Structure 1
Amino acid sequence: MSDSRSKSPTPSERERKDAEDRKREQEEQEKLPYKWTQTLNEAEVNVPIPGNLKSRDLIVDIKKTHLKVQIKGQDPIIDGDTPHPLSVDDSTWTLTTTPQNTKEIVLSLAKSVGSNWWPHIVTTAPKIDVTKIVPENSKLSDLDGETRGMVEKMMYDQEMKRQGKATSDEQQKQDLLKKFMAEHPEMDFSQAKIG
């Protein structure tokens, strides 16, 4: 009688499968008529075109959930829905000349607030495995004020705990108690505990 349960792959089998998946994914991406990269906030798409074309020869249409790039009179190079909404007002495109004297359309697509890693630029294109993305390190200066304040407070509190000192919240409670004690000298605080 054979065991019908499937056993989980060994680390080497998993590694081999990951390598095969990465190779397949890379081959699929290389077949696309464009190259693309992304951060959590934006995606950049580079579409190579013949060097004799000018912007008036192109149709570039960036909508909230749809993207179209086309040379007039030809089939679209990109024409499909985006996996997540775009911030159209913050998205741009330019026509640049490359060092090889060819041209490319460069689209800077601003992802809508709260967006995440995209598996593809348009939903009709092959997907990438977003779980394998290693994000670039963020700098505190990249964060908005409120988020930056929260991160700095967390970093401070973590360092204070490491040193065995009071965190910012604990320090705030101690300061409030000291102020209250100073304002009420008639009260006995000898048994007071901060919890």
Structure 2
Amino acid sequence: MSSSKRAPSPTPSERKRQDEVDRKREEEEQAQLPYKWTQTLTEAEVTIPIPQNLKARDLVVDIKKSSLKAGVKGQPAIIDGSTPHQINVDDSTWVLSTEAGQRYIVISISKSAGSNWWAHIVTNAPKIDVTKIVPENSKLSDLDGETRGMVEKMMYDQRQKEMGKPTSDEERKQDMLKKFMEQHPEMDFSNAKMG
């Protein structure tokens, strides 16, 4: 008879140490990429340094629904692979940019509706831990309808709790009980409890 023992959960200090190790490894992996990238929930931007003398006609940039390829014609692509989620191709663009004497290909990717945080720009690149992303404060108007509704409900419930008032779910239960009581005046609700 074998007994399977589970490893003990890491202590908060062990978890913090491991998070720091993971973050440092992640930063090193991202620093080694031949491009830099940033993202919001709805967009991603890739910045690829290229030689100063290159023009747009010297480049290959191919943005497809599920893949991205960019580089210099006649050379191995700088970035080439499948994307972790779909791209809204019609709203994605690229430009040549010069900043502080350095030339860049800047690719603006519009994530498809309902998208989320990407762990990487292309699936053959090292991943980042998306659970550790701390998003910038965004406006509710930036969110899609369903997400916006959830956030507004959470904000309302939080305010209600802070004031010692019932949350939206508790209010709904109370309303249901009140209607039921009105429909059944013959019943005794003196010992009714909300659960």
* TM value normalised by structure 1: 0.75
- Can you list the C-alpha shifts for 1:3-40, whole angstroms capped at 9, x where unaligned? 97322222222211111111011000000000001111
- Cα distance in 2 for residues equivalent to 1:129 and 1:24: 11
Q: Please identify runs of 4+ aligned residues in structure 1 that moved more than 6 A.
A: none
Map of 1:1-195 to 2, 5 A cutoff? 5=5, 6-98=7-99, 100-143=100-143, 155=155, 162=163
- Cα distance in 2 for residues equivalent to 1:33 and 1:14: 31
- Cα distance in 1 for residues equivalent to 2:73 and 2:85: 27
* Correspondence for 1:183: none
- Cα distance in 1 for residues equivalent to 2:26 and 2:48: 19
Q: Percentage identity across aligned positions?
A: 69
Taking a change above 3 Å as real, the CA distance of residues 18 and 65 of structure 1, as seen in their structure-2 partners, is same
Taking a change above 3 Å as real, the CA distance of residues 125 and 160 of structure 1, as seen in their structure-2 partners, is closer
Give the root-mean-square deviation of aligned CA atoms. Answer: 3.6
Taking a change above 3 Å as real, the CA distance of residues 97 and 137 of structure 1, as seen in their structure-2 partners, is same
- Cα distance in 1 for residues equivalent to 2:31 and 2:98: 21
- Can you list the C-alpha shifts for 1:22-73, whole angstroms capped at 9, x where unaligned? 1011000000000001111011100010111110100000000010001011
Taking a change above 3 Å as real, the CA distance of residues 101 and 153 of structure 1, as seen in their structure-2 partners, is same
Taking a change above 3 Å as real, the CA distance of residues 154 and 134 of structure 1, as seen in their structure-2 partners, is closer
- Cα distance in 2 for residues equivalent to 1:70 and 1:103: 13
The AA in structure 2 aligned to 1:59 is V
The AA in structure 1 aligned to 2:134 is V
Q: What SS does structure 2 have at the residue aligned with 1:68? A: strand
- Cα distance in 1 for residues equivalent to 2:111 and 2:23: 25
- Can you list the C-alpha shifts for 1:113-157, whole angstroms capped at 9, x where unaligned? 111111100000001111111111121332457865775577567
The AA in structure 2 aligned to 1:63 is K
The AA in structure 2 aligned to 1:95 is L
Q: Is the radius of gyration larger for structure 1 or structure 2?
A: 1
- Cα distance in 2 for residues equivalent to 1:79 and 1:144: 30
Q: What SS does structure 1 have at the residue aligned with 2:22? A: helix
Taking a change above 3 Å as real, the CA distance of residues 7 and 46 of structure 1, as seen in their structure-2 partners, is same
Taking a change above 3 Å as real, the CA distance of residues 75 and 141 of structure 1, as seen in their structure-2 partners, is same
* TM value normalised by structure 2: 0.75
User: How many residues in Structure 1 have an aligned counterpart in Structure 2?
Assistant: 182
